[in-house]
Amino acid sequence: MRASDFGEGGSYKAQGLVTEDIEAYLEQHRHKSMLRFITCGSVDDGKSTLIGRLLYDSKMIFEDQLAALEADSRKMGTQGQEIGFALLVDGLAAEREQGITIDVAYRFFSTDRRKFIVADTPGHEQYTRNMVTGASTADLAVILIDARKGVLTQTRRHSYLTHLIGIRNIVLAVNKMDLVGYDQARFEAIVTDYRAFAERLGITAFTAIPISGFKGDNITTLSANTPWYSGPALIEHLERVPLDQDRLAQGPLRMAVQWVNRPNLDFRGFAGFVNGGRVRVGDAVRVLPSGKTSTVSRIVTQEGDLEEAVVGQSVTLCLGDEIDCSRGDVITTADAPVEVADQFEATLVWMAEEPMLPGRTYLAKIGASTLPVTITEEKYEINVNTLEHLAGKTLGLNGIAVCNLSFDRAVPFTPYAENGDLGGFILIDRMTSATVGAGMIHFSLRRAHNIHWQSLEVDRDAHAEQKRQAPRIVWFTGLSGAGKSTIANLVAKRLFVLGKHVFLLDGAAAVLVGSADFGRASGLKPRARVRAFASIGSEPAIMLTGPMSCTERLLKRAGMQIGDIDLFEVNEAFASVVMSYMRHFDLPHDKVNVAGGAIALGHPLGATGAMLLGTVLDEMERRDLNTAVITLCAAAGMATATLIERV
């Protein structure tokens, strides 16, 4: 911006056209682009002060407002005799008394190049839902950081939320530079710290500007106090940043039908807001979810017919064919339709005092449709401060979680990252009609349609003929501890002795191994952790000696002695090997194979390791012991050993 564009003190001059030619000014103003942005950050980082400064410098304050502001500043301000710009935005009595922002405040201002709507969002964690509300329509976020304090927890929280909402343009405004002497090193250290966190979120680019909202440095013009800064002033950057609407205009047509316009028998059109792309008369379109196609015969507006409509316009489309189309349907480019599904994974932000309950049915408003939806599963809750995934069954006020949802019918949609209008939704309590949550769709949970029965030539009859026995499945069932596995094992051994082909499948022989985060996110209580693992291939001069060498390697890796281990499971088919193992390590009988050897365990198909692990865990818990070693022989000198530890 030119220095001549501003009056005394750097204040932005009112457009001369206002006094010279009001009609020309209004026409120029009507064709300006509109940028919606939010200010966010931690408490007392100067969000409201920055907005007040923008309003003041852009001459958007009437004289009586300015007089009232000066009086309020002397009475309730925090800047002594100076103007408290935050009071222009913080209008609630509680906000002025506490010096904080509670509710979202929207303010309008403009420059020669662009119009702006700015939302001042609260910094306190308890007002997260207010911040999400303000961010839901924004194209840009100004994240303020107090130069004295640096990146704080709430800074990270708001950065995550802006990224979650899909705001692509980020301005990192390092505020209160006057209080650190306009120190370049301090500014660069904060930018480096923030960039490390932003990369974890997936924020690939942002614009960092050193400012002072109170003094006006680098707000409307570049400040002489920061000669080391060569970037744009804040208002200049806001004027030139590309709008999300520009991105959407390059994509295919997306229009949610809000109303079937039928004023008489001779006219039938479909009114809605163009959510993406553009449409021309004669274009081929597809209506979803029905999938019917037609062509656009007219584009009707209050000001007359158009040849073309673009994203951001509200129009009525008339189609060349009489096809079924109603409120909630989506009209798209014929060869680039949106998806249609009734099952989704989505991120939910909970906004109600009453917690979210999986399995409960709410109303969802998505696009122009309102329909019942059930939260079928809460997959995990997100700790916004650490980005950790946590297990959860309910979701409280301001909580954020990834959930699976089931709509009562298929709806057209796009992933939220592609188009927020067709990928975002709100949840409504069916009893109170209150908005209780907001959601962003990730993707549909498609039911598999590509699975077909494959005809097999080697079937069960062929196997029966080869084995010369009829296939049978015997199910042993009963109460826990009734001896099902013991009896099944005896039957399997007897059938094996009789020369029958038999496999024992024990439903309890399963072990789930995963990370600690996975366990918490899945709501599982871990029983033990793997502390160390070793494998070895020894010279098989003497059969099956590998477990001994492997155990020694395992203990060395863990930094432990043989006496530190409470129990041993030595999986061997030959008792002599176990006896040799016990003699080698001088182990007492009550520490080794407490439930018998591998033959006694039955060698269940594919589950030997699970049986051994389950057996030793049960015994560790029964005796209140802490450590165990499990060995497996893989023949020809090969062996593995695992050290587990109760948690």
CB 625 within 8 A of CB 566: yes
Structural domains counted in the chain? 5
Asked whether residue 292 falls in the same domain as residue 362, the answer is no
Return the pLDDT at 86: 54
Residues 436 and 527 grouped into a single domain: no
DSSP state of 523: T
Residue 83 is predicted with a pLDDT of 55
Q: Is residue 505 part of a domain?
A: no
Do residues 40 and 176 share a domain? yes
Residue 455 inside a domain? The answer is no
Residue 603 pLDDT level (bands cut at 50, 70, 90): very low
Report the amino acid identity of residue 385. Answer: N
Structure confidence at residue 442 (pLDDT): 93
Check pLDDT > 90 for residue 188.
Answer: yes
Let me know whether 328 and 361 are in one domain: no
Structural domain harbouring 467: 460-497
Q: What percent of the chain has a predicted confidence (pLDDT) above 70?
A: 78
So what's the pLDDT on residue 14? Answer: 43
Q: What residues have CB less than 8 Å from 334, skipping those under 6 apart?
A: 283, 284, 285, 286, 293
Q: What is the CATH number of the domain that holds 600?
A: 3.40.47.10
pLDDT at 7: 43
Q: Both 196 and 279 in a single domain?
A: no
3-state SS assignment for residue 347: strand
Q: Note whether 123 and 183 are same-domain residues.
A: yes
Q: Is residue 101's pLDDT more than 60?
A: no
424 assigned to some structural domain:
yes
Beta bridge partners of 348: 401, 439
Tell me the binding residues for GTP: 41-48, 120-124, 175-178
Task: Say what the pLDDT of residue 3 is.
Answer: 41
Concatenated DSSP letters for 484-503?
Answer: HHHHHHHHHHHHHHTT----
Q: Which residues contact 37 (CB under 8 A, 6 or more apart)?
A: 116, 117, 118, 119, 138, 139, 140, 141, 142, 169, 238
pLDDT (average), residues 196-221: 88
- Mean pLDDT for the stretch of residues 237-261: 89
Please indicate, yes or no, if residue 173 is contained in any of the structural domains: yes
**Residue at a domain's end among 219, 242, 265:** 242
* Cα–Cα distance for residue pair 580/586, rounded to 1 Å: 10
Say if residue 57 is in the same domain as residue 196. Answer: yes
**Lowest-confidence region among 151-155, 159-163, 281-285, 630-634:** 630-634
- Per-residue pLDDT, averaged over 242-263, amounts to 89
Residue for token pair 């680039």: 336
> Is the pLDDT assigned to residue 577 strictly greater than 80?
no
Q: Is residue 504 part of a domain?
A: no
CATH number at residue 348: 2.40.30.10
Average pLDDT over residues 35-57: 79
Among 276, 308, 333, identify where a domain stops: 333
pLDDT at residue 521 in the model = 57
**Predicted confidence band of residue 544 (pLDDT cuts 50, 70, 90):** low
pLDDT digit string, tens, across residues 435-474 = 999 999 999 986 544 455 566 677 778 878 888 888 888 8
Pair 477, 579 in one domain = no
Helix (H, G, I), strand (E, B) or coil at 57: helix
pLDDT, one tens digit per residue, over 397-446 is 888 999 999 998 999 999 998 998 999 999 999 989 999 999 999 999 86
Q: Do 92 and 187 belong together in one domain?
A: yes
What is the 8-class DSSP label of residue 97?
A: H
Q: Is residue 454 part of a domain?
A: no
Lowest mean pLDDT, pick from 84-93, 148-157, 491-500: 84-93
Residues 184 and 92 in one domain: yes
Q: What is the mean pLDDT of the chain?
A: 81
Q: Say if residue 37 is in the same domain as residue 57.
A: yes
Type and span of the H or E element at 575: helix 575-585
Q: Which residues of 3-24 are buried (b: 16+ CB within 10 A; e: fewer)?
A: eeebeeebbbeebebeeeeeee
Question: Is the residue at 506 inside a domain?
Answer: no
- DSSP-based three-state secondary structure for 235: helix
Give, rounded to a whole angstrom, the gap between the first and last alpha carbons of the chain. Answer: 63
Q: What CATH number has the domain bearing residue 78?
A: 3.40.50.300
Annotated binding-site members: 41-48, 120-124, 175-178
293: Cα within 13 Å, side-chain hemisphere: 9
The closest of 568, 567, 558 to 534, measured between CA atoms, is 558
Q: Exposed (0-12), middle (13-18) or buried (19+): which is 410, by Cβ within 10 Å? A: middle
Does any domain span residue 176?
yes
Which residue pairs, CB below 8 angstroms and at least 24 apart, start in 364-367?
Answer: 364/405, 364/407, 364/425, 364/426, 364/427, 364/428, 364/439, 365/425, 365/426, 365/428, 366/411, 366/413, 366/422, 366/424, 366/425, 367/256, 367/275, 367/328, 367/330, 367/411, 367/412, 367/413, 367/421, 367/422
419, 407 Cβ separation under 8 angstroms: no
Domain identity same for 73 and 171:
yes
Q: What is the mean pLDDT of residues 610-634?
A: 85
Map tokens 């923030």 to a residue: 194
Instruction: Identify the pLDDT of residue 306.
Output: 92
Nearest to 430 by CA among 357, 368, 363, 351: 363
Q: Of the residues 242, 273, 289, which one is the last residue of a structural domain?
A: 242
Cα–Cα distance, 614 to 514 (Å, whole number): 16
- For Cα atoms 292, 297, 299, give the angle at the middle one, nearest 5 degrees: 105
